[in-house]
A and B are shown apart, each in its own frame.
Chain A
């Protein structure tokens, strides 16, 4: 089983980026050791510049060890996690989450006899 990556795409005003990162440090990251299989790999922003009257996108890349680790991550989300997202949703314009696998692996297909 290979690692699974989760990408959070958070569209927000440039001046909200620091607030979200602070919330991440205060509410989400302290709980990671107890979640065992989840780690934060990257914090990116695009475009990497503040433009006039334009939002930025904050990308948070997470990694879990494997599929069993994915369910461990799911089962260990606590109040701090929910508080983090509730506050982020107040600050951002829109948000999406993506669960991603290895693109070099063939995609599982529907069964022929299904």
Chain B
């Protein structure tokens, strides 16, 4: 059994992100218990995110031991979760050189379970309307010590598919978004604090996990 983990690496102000990127890659290459890993420098336009996105597929017997990134130059902290996939999909398993988007979110206290279940299904419905979502995965957080409850990840061919089709589609702003909107009575289930990160994708993460 393997465990999926995603981390946001936060660096100190003024830190050299490219140097940190190289150091993290070097460290992960020498780390045992990893079946696969991916590191990406976050692009302009993220919010609630760090400077790098790290994704790990860990062997279960060592997955409860956090990887120590404190030796990475400029390292400040990590914000990460392990999660269990609710559902994933692959349209383009051989995608190369795209965009990897990670949304970490928290279901707000008191949200009705049936509304949370609807939120999950509505989110998973997005690829049915948006061709630009090439591969995707929705996960439920399983690790303790974090306020995040869900991870919604997508792979795109280009940044325009994320900033264009994904954001502009009526299924997004006219349907799913009400789950994130405190002005919507009854159906609002997601806390307003989000982690929205996107970075270059080397090759599929969803497909190899």
Contact = CB atoms under 8 A, between A and B. Distances in A.
A67 interface: yes
Contacts of A108: 129, 169-171
Contacts of B177: 70-71, 74, 99
B128 interface: yes
How extensive is the interface on chain B, given as a class? 20 to 34
Nearest to B131: A111
Contacts of A111: 128-129, 131
B174 A110 contact: no
Nearest to B180: A74
How extensive is the interface on chain A, given as a class? 20 to 34
A82 B29 CA distance: 48
A9 to B, nearest CB: 10
B181 A89 contact: no
Contacts of B171: 108
Interface string A56-90: 00000000000110110010010001100100010
Contacts, number: 53
A82 B188 CA distance: 13
A85 B184 CA distance: 9
Nearest to B175: A99
B185 interface: yes
A95 interface: yes
A114 B128 contact: yes
B127 interface: yes
A99 B177 CA distance: 10
A114 B129 CA distance: 8
Interface in A90-106: 95-97, 99-101
Contacts of B131: 111
Interface in B176-191: 177-178, 180-185
A23 interface: no
A4 interface: yes
A36 B167 CA distance: 18
A73 B106 CA distance: 21
7 closest A-B pairs by beta carbon, nearest first, are A114-B128, A110-B128, A67-B168, A99-B174, A70-B173, A95-B185, A67-B173
Interface of B: 127-129, 131, 167-175, 177-178, 180-185
Interface of A: 1, 4, 67-68, 70-71, 74, 77, 81-82, 85, 89, 95-97, 99-101, 108-111, 114
